[in-house]
């Protein structure tokens, strides 16, 4: 995932650590600890967003377990001006997601998928011609 992000037009990579300690090369990303990760995925997302500088106007959000992420999907979303964007693959919403700063305060504990409000509607950006990021779950 970090390699895909390094190939995308992003200025900084922030990784949110919650229930499990992560091994992340500090030259590739900054790790921030989310103490209340158990409140839901929105808590982790808000923690990561809070770690960004005041000059950041939009954030790209990806899940760590999507190793097939195509950096071109990030480029495609960043080319759109809407405040809440998500890639879609053959009509299915997925990642990456792009959030304008104006939406950050509205993120509920349930996470970005629950952000749909009168003020914020998710615009799906077709990325069907690209490989979807996938979803890898690893359990011991």
Percent of the chain with pLDDT over 90: 79
Domain extent listing, the chain: 2-126
Note the pLDDT tens digit of each residue in 27-65.
999 999 999 999 999 999 999 999 999 999 999 999 988
Question: What are the structure tokens assigned to 6, written together?
Answer: 């390094």
Q: What whole-number distance in Å separates Cα of residue 121 and Cα of residue 108? A: 14
- 34 within 8 A of 18, measured Cβ to Cβ: yes
- 68 within 8 A of 108, measured Cβ to Cβ: no
Average of per-residue pLDDT values in the chain? 93
Domain 2-126, classified CATH 3.90.550.10, yes or no:
yes
Note the pLDDT tens digit of each residue in 9-23.
999 999 999 998 989
- Measured CA to CA in angstroms, residue 84 lies from 27, 28, 58, 126, 136 at distances of 29, 26, 9, 14, 25
Q: What whole-number distance in Å separates Cα of residue 129 and Cα of residue 82? A: 21
Note the pLDDT tens digit of each residue in 57-81.
999 999 988 889 999 999 999 999 9
The three-state secondary structure class of 17 is strand
Is this structure's pTM higher than 0.85? yes
The yes-or-no verdict on residue 86 having pLDDT over 60 is yes
Q: What is residue 72's predicted lDDT score, i.e. its pLDDT?
A: 97
């Amino acid at each position: 995932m970090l390699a895909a992000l390094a190939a995308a037009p992003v200025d900084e990579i922030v990784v949110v650590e919650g229930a499990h300690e992560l091994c992340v090369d500090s030259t590739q990303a900054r790790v921030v600890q989310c103490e209340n990760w158990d409140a839901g995925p929105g808590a982790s997302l808000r923690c990561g967003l809070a770690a960004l500088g005041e000059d950041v106007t939009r954030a790209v959000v990806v899940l760590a377990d999507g190793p097939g992420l195509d950096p071109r999907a990030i480029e495609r979303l960043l080319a759109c001006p809407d405040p809440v964007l998500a890639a879609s693959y053959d009509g299915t919403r997925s990642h990456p997601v792009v959030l304008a700063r104006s939406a950050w305060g509205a993120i509920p504990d349930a996470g970005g998928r629950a952000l749909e409000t009168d003020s914020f509607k998710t615009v799906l950006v077709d990325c069907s011609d690209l490989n979807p990021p996938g979803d890898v779950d690893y359990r011991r």
